[in-house]
A and B are shown apart, each in its own frame.
Chain A
Amino acid sequence: MKIIVAIKRVVDYAVKIRVKPDKSGVETSNVKMSMNPFCEIALEEALRIKESGRASEVVAVSVGPAQCADTLRTGLAMGADRAIHVDYPGTLYPLSIAKILKALVDAEKPGLLLLGKQAIDDDCNQTGQMVAGLLKWPQATFASKVVFDEENKVATVDREVDGGIETLSLDLPAVITTDLRLNQPRYATLPNIMKAKSKVIKKVTPHDLNVEIKSDLEAVQVAEPPKRKSGTVLSSVDELIDRLKNEARVI
């Protein structure tokens, strides 16, 4: 079975972002960029499935500008076999990404498509569900455990839902999106980083894949959230209870 993992290059999770003064977006030049943490988890899971002998090949895919190749290189250093970079310089919303991924799936015919549950920049939490819908494949979102039964070609997935953990069984091929608690991603070692340099990153464009990019969303502005006014540091529990009772009136 072949596994495709979709990965996204985003502003590093530890960076305190700045909104551009002209409100056109968030400053991304000269900011540390990394692989989206949920995508790392998805890639790690694919690698573990391969290491357990249940997959033959792991293909990492990223859609975006030229620098996405760096993120794919990181994925190759973690252990992906090869990569596909769908080169597109402009803004893409999840619907377009899902269409691009569908086109890649149609061409590559994987048995499993793994994605992170959301990107930490747009916080959309949509792409996996949308590509599953387009492919008419079953989906398991927010996965915290994945078990394969090759004989019956099904995956049993634990999902983190509001009330607790839900277990589903999916016929393969399927789409799975990963939650934080699925695994602990590995670090790429130096020898693997060196090895990754000789692995192949194939470059294609949405046009090559016959995907028409249309946008039905228009970004009007990006603004800073309202600031909370600074609080008071109190000296005792008595003072805290008094303030909560008489000033904030919340207890």
Chain B
Amino acid sequence: MAIRTLIGAFRNHSFSSRVAPYSRSLKTLVLAEHDGGSVKASTLSAVEAANLLGDGNSISLLLAGSGPSLQEAAQHAASCHPSISQVLLADSDKFTYPLAEQWAKLVHVVQQKGSFSHIITGSGSFGKNILPRAAALLDVSPITDVIEISGSNLFVRPIYAGNALSTVRYTGSDPCMLIIRSTSFPLKPASAGSVSNAPSVDKVDTSSLDEDDAVGKSKFISISSQDTERPDLGNARVVVTGGRALKSAENFKMIEKLAEKLGAAVGATRAAVDAGFVPNELQVGQTGKIVAPDLYMAFGVSGAIQHLAGIRDSKVIVAVNKDADAPIFQVADYGLVGDLFEVIPELLEKLPDKK
């Protein structure tokens, strides 16, 4: 055991000393999430983040799936961001559903071949499920919820529900693995759609995946999702949120109506979800979604620490609450002390229509 550790330490040492840490060439792998034939916006945010790691970073996108939807996503991936220089495609039935066991092994296989300096993904449930597992296989510490990149190995992330910002330096061997908070790395308008040079599309050999003992030990059964016409909560420009004070699922429809009028996404507090007014995927906060819209409107939300963690970076926060002492008023740009059952109908009447 001791000897093995020693050899391991020596090997790590010789690897990392081969290139000086500050002049090493950057080579980043972005784990891509795709849905309905296109790469998700959170993945493109991860590409934006990869660009901030340093100059001359060559960025590869790893895409896994099966069938026509993968082919469609691959086409989209090849043109979705000018910084992508390579698309790696893992086409196998094993990836019909994004299971962590096969994905982590895939990342392991791809890293052994590609020797990436960084591996990045977005901070949705996909990335949080997969990346730490892959990091354990590679024996490195991952960094979750990165909101700022100050260098190729220096990062800022929130801790304690966003009440403190921690700066950490990664001192380990390659790869440095990051889960980035998408709202902190918005897409630059110029980067969307403009194609500079078409990336190469390469297939990944997935035959060695069966060697991992864990592959096949989990099976996808089903997914139930709410189909909605409204914009995605994580990327919406306007978010309207309701709390416990809505009192019922029936009353919560007022929030939905208001959201419709503003072209907004609907959010909820934990209390509103626990009370059964809305499904859990609408929860905003430390354990739910993190949002950073231009306009965040909170109705009947007291403003618990855990909720504020999810809205802190919104540009303009509006709070409507009966209780003038509610903590939400301490972060709100505009507060209105009043009964939401009077305020919302009035807003519905007076707000201009938005297409």
Contact = CB atoms under 8 A, between A and B. Distances in A.
Given A123-B144, A136-B213, A234 B165 contact: no
Given A131-B136, A220-B154, A163 B333 contact: no
B172 A216 contact: yes
Interface in A194-251: 210, 212, 215-225, 228, 230-238, 240-241, 243-245, 248, 250-251
B318 to A, nearest CB: 7
Interface stretch (B58-66, B69-77, B194-202, B216-224): B216-224
B316 interface: yes
B163 A225 contact: yes
A129 B218 CA distance: 14
B112 to A, nearest CB: 15
Contact of B287 (A118, A141, A168, A235): A118
B335 A123 contact: no
**Size range of the interface on B?**
35 or more
B254 interface: no
A161 interface: yes
Contacts of A243: 334
Nearest to B142: A126
B160 A26 contact: yes
Contacts of A225: 158, 162-165, 312
B81 interface: no
A244 B318 contact: yes
B299 interface: no
B306 A17 contact: no
A126 to B, nearest CB: 4
Contact of B295 (A26, A231, A244): A244
Interface in A21-43: 26
Contacts of B354: 251
Given A168-B220, A170-B217, A121 B160 contact: yes
Interface string A103-139: 0000000000000011011111111011111101111
Interface stretch (A50-58, A67-75, A93-101): A93-101
Measured as residues with beta carbon below 8 angstroms from the partner, the interface class of chain A is 35 or more
Most buried by A among B132, B154, B217: B132
Contacts of A221: 166-167
B262 A129 contact: no
Contacts of A180: 270, 287
Contacts of B352: 245, 251
Nearest to A238: B350
Interface stretch (B18-26, B43-51, B123-131, B183-191): B123-131
Interface string A162-179: 111111111100100001
Contacts of A156: 221
Contact of B315 (A120, A142, A159, A250): A250
Given A144-B280, A168-B219, A231-B335, 12 more contacts: A17-B163, A139-B129, A164-B225, A167-B221, A168-B221, A217-B168, A220-B168, A225-B165, A231-B331, A240-B334, A244-B295, A251-B352
